[in-house]
Every structure is written in structure tokens, then in C-alpha cells.
Structure 1
Amino acid sequence: MRMSRTVNVALREKKRQQIIDAASSLFSTRGFFATTVSEIAKEAGMSHAAVFTYFSSKEELLDAIIQGP
């Protein structure tokens, strides 16, 4: 049971980081306001809804990028 929990936490963090990386790339090339959550999701290889599993808004995602690891 413990191993499964560790794997889930690691997978969740990996997906969260994929979203951050995709958003960071798109924000730097297209700008924050011109980038949609759908574009971020596509770049990260996941659904639009999945992005909102990790971040409640595009602004929260920007905050995560600014704050860093």
C-alpha cells in the first residue's frame, strides 16, 4: 500500500510539472493573455479538464511558474 501511494505522488508531481513546463513555454512565446488553457493542455499532452485538476486557474498556474520549485 505504501509503495502505491509513493508512485501516485510521484506521478501527480510529474504531470503537474508537465503542465508548468508547457505553460512556461507557451507564455514565453505567445504571452500570458494570448495563451489558452486548452493550448497548455494540448502542449502538455493531456485534457483541458486535467489542467484544472492541478491548478484552479491560469493565474494560479502563472504563480506556480513564478514561484518555482
Structure 2
Amino acid sequence: MVERARALVRAAAALRGWLLAPTAEADEVFDPYGAPLPFFRSIGDEINEALDPVVTALTGVRARA
């Protein structure tokens, strides 16, 4: 798994700067501290969704069903 992770890091580094967020806000994860619970959960869902392809690439197993 370590060699797979290293290869993925090299591949990601080679692509860095090729894909930009459409807006600055689209690339932002807001801090839910002190916000209502539904907003707090929505940020958790956003983070989970963003990490799913990373976990899948590293492990070969989908993180979410």
C-alpha cells in the first residue's frame, strides 16, 4: 500500500495546477463551529464526499456505498 500511495502522490503532483476550482468559494470548506446541527452535518458530508475518491485510490475499496 505504501508504494501505491507514493505513486499516487507523484501522479497528483504532476497534475497540480491543471484543474482549478470554478470559483474561490467552490474550493472552500467552511468551519461549522457554532453553526446549527444541520449545517455541521452538511460540512461533514462534504468532507466525506471529497475524501471518498482519495480513500478509494489508496485502498482500492470504495469508502461509501
- TM-score tier, shorter chain, comes to 0.3 to 0.5
Q: Report the TM-score, using the length of structure 2 for normalisation.
A: 0.34
Larger Rg: 2
Decide which structure has greater helix share: 1
